[in-house]
Amino acid sequence: CMIKLTKRNYTWIQDELEDDEVVIWVGQPSPKKFFGVKLTSWWLFISSFFLVYFYISISLEFKLLIFLVVLVFIFKILNKITSSQGSLYTIYMVTNMRVLFLNDTRVRSFTSYYPHHLQNLEKQINDDGSGDIIFTSEPYINNRLNDTTKGPGLIRIENVSKVGDLLDRLANSINHCSWKKY
């Protein structure tokens, strides 16, 4: 996938890197991974709604209920579209010393994860090799009152296996300066 790295981003990255630090891998979340098959099912649902709403005689209350359900689905679609656009401003970097996230939306921010943060990696790999790598999991109770976990990580990246191997190597490395660029 193509990386959106402006001159300004490049300068910020150079300023953030330490003297002996070398970038090994750079990537971005894939905006197209937001949708997949789910978008097709939503379009099917919405077209079915219009058939029911306009061509079948049902009570006004039931029509309003169906209309509200469709509005929720449309809101979810629009939310996914705006989230996928935001992913264009996130850059992931694996260096010989840490993992860096550059978020360049409204305010530039760097987040660093050092080898001790990478001890419990969770890899979620799709059929095409893309997926997520979650670093550390933090327990919380979700809106259904279930215990679950969430954590930072590389989300919607290509070639999870290769990047996961780099992160495993970083997590277990002692001499970070012996790395070579991939």
For residue 33, pLDDT beyond 60? no
Mean pLDDT of 52-73: 72
pTM of the model: 0.64
Instruction: Pick the more confident residue, 109 or 158.
Output: 158
Who wins on pLDDT, 152 or 93?
93
Can you tell me the distance from the alpha carbon of 98 to that of 135, in angstroms, rounded to the nearest whole number?
Answer: 12
CA torsion angle 117 119 120 126 (round to 10): 90
Residue 144 burial by Cβ neighbours in a 10 Å radius (0-12, 13-18, 19+): exposed
List, for residues 95-139, the tens digit of each pLDDT value.
Answer: 999 998 888 766 677 888 888 888 888 888 988 888 889 886 666
Mean pLDDT value of segment 72-85: 68
Separation in Å, CA 45 to CA 41, 59, 81, 107: 6, 20, 18, 38
pLDDT score recorded for residue 40: 63
Question: In DSSP terms, which residues pair with 22 in a beta bridge?
Answer: none
Q: Which of 1-5, 82-86, 124-128 has the highest mean pLDDT?
A: 124-128
Alpha carbons 43 and 50: distance in angstroms, whole number:
11
CA distances from 148 to 36, 73, 114 (A): 25, 25, 24
Give the pLDDT score at 182.
44
Tokens standing for residue 151: 């954590």
Residue 78 and residue 72: Cα distance in Å, rounded? 10
Domain positions in the chain are 1-15+22-176
b/e code 122-131 from CB counts within 10 Å (16+ = b)? ebeeeeeebb
